[in-house]
Amino acid sequence: MHDALSALTNLRSAPGNANPARILVIDDEAGIRESLEVLLTLEGYAVDMAIDGEKGLNKLEQNSYDLLLLDLALPGQTGMELLPQIHDRYPELPVVMITAYGTVDNVVEAIRSGAENFVQKPWDNEKLLADIRSAIARHKAESENIQLKRALKQRYNFENIVGKSEVMLRIFDLVAQVAPSRSTVLILGESGTGKELIAKALHANSPRKDKPFVPVNSGSMPSDLLESSLFGHVKGSFTSAIASKKGLFEVANGGTLFLDEIGNMGLDTQAKILRVLQDRRFMQVGGTHEIQVDVRIVAATNVDLRQAVREGRFREDLFYRLNVISIDLPPLRSRREDIPLLVNRFLEHFSVENGLEPRRITHDAMRALIDYDWPGNVRELENVIERSVVLSNNALIDTGLLPANVSGRSLPQALLEDNPNASLFDIIEIIERRIILEKLERSNWNQTEAAEQFRIPLSTLNQKIKRLNIEIRKKGRD
């Protein structure tokens, strides 16, 4: 063992291992940890050790690993109890279980819980190393494949949609999966989150991409004008109908019809939209024969349609027809890591559009943009950057060019200045109260919905509301 440890020390100081694969070993036996450290380090791996599950989870939070060797019998939480937690938090991390008590049931349960393989003590060094090499190689190939796919999507398929946050990458994945189908899609999200861009991405990545994409603002027109626009009319069907006109359903035949703000559509028009969704047929205003079309419907709304159904403002049967596949776009405040990407995209665009040399933004100005809550979402950010570019006299945009409401103090700064004598616990309580109040307001004071969004039990939220003296009130949505 002494010779092995000497070799281990020499290897650690040897050149040529700048980026070795990194392995975490969680095992409570010192002899096992020492043996694995020698074996794996001599093989060229970087190795970290943990003696129990708690210390292992801390290591996983602090570092990135290419493989985990996890003992089945650990003090406190067993390896089998830890495995589902690790798989949920780090689904792409390969895990090899190690045990002296391997049974068929253990193997089956471990594999079902996400283990890559199962090794029994005492192990065969060559087989263990072969299993480790195979698992790491597979993990690396899968990770590179995922990154490549996402890079391609960002660069080619969704060139007008900017985002690197996990929530946006999941939306890109969903759009890519759904786009080739004929299914109706309902896009949900606050105003300004980019619902039409998602609709265009669905169309552009579908077999219908060479056919028309026809957007309709369903909430901005009176019902009679909307029906005439959607279905067309025959000459003389009403006073101003001096000639027959095709409707937008017919114009979009073979392509995609995007019904924006569908939550504000009148009930009579909703009934006619439902029939088109069911039969792919409609009749022009004043017409006497049916027209058949092949149109994919993509709808969008910032309205809570379930609430609208409960209040009788939206047809339940139409809601279920539209809600085949739903895409929920997050507000900008919940994906702040995307703000620098968006800012740089808008700076480039508006610099070129206005014939100016490329504008850059200072660190303080970027910090202010990241800290701001953006009630108008991406659209508001775009307007702020356009304004800043137009008003700028040189290439550098500082906080002075941002609107006053955007360049104001950050929340931590405001809390410290407004509460100079507050303890750390007081500050944390103030922040917690503000966050809960904001979530309750956004969920229309529905505590169950707010608890679900916080991913905590309703009883826990109720306890916090009581402790923080939050007054519950009913408030209508905007």
pLDDT one-digit tens code per residue, 374-419 = 988 998 999 899 989 988 888 899 888 888 778 775 556 656 655 6
Closest CA to 407 of 390, 434, 421, 387: 387
Dist. CA 228–CA 241, nearest whole Å = 10
Q: What's the confidence (pLDDT) of residue 322?
A: 94
On whether the pTM is more than 0.85, the answer is no
Q: What's the confidence (pLDDT) of residue 107?
A: 60
User: Please, which contacts does 240-249 make with residues 24 or more away whose CB atoms are closer than 8 Å?
Assistant: 241/285, 241/286, 244/284, 247/282, 247/284, 248/214, 248/216, 249/276, 249/282, 249/291, 249/293, 249/295
Strand duo 396-397 + 95-99: pairing:
unpaired
SS3 state of residue 450: helix
Q: 27-53 pLDDT, tens per residue? A: 988 888 999 999 999 988 999 999 998
Dist. CA 41–CA 7, nearest whole Å = 9
Q: What's the confidence (pLDDT) of residue 316?
A: 95
Work out the number of other CB atoms within 10 angstroms of the CB of residue 400: 12
Work out the number of other CB atoms within 10 angstroms of the CB of residue 413: 11
Beta partners for 26?
Answer: 50, 70
List of the chain residues with pLDDT < 70? 1-18, 101-114, 141-160, 220, 236-242, 409-419, 441, 473-478
The residue whose two tokens read 């701001």 is: 372
Quick one: tokens of 287? 């017409």
Q: What's the confidence (pLDDT) of residue 321?
A: 93
Dist. CA 184–CA 295, nearest whole Å = 10
Q: Domains (ranges, CATH) in the chain?
A: 2-142 (3.40.50.2300), 166-328 (3.40.50.300), 332-408 (1.10.8.60), 412-467 (1.10.10)
457 prior amide bond cis, ω within 30: no
Q: What's the confidence (pLDDT) of residue 113?
A: 61
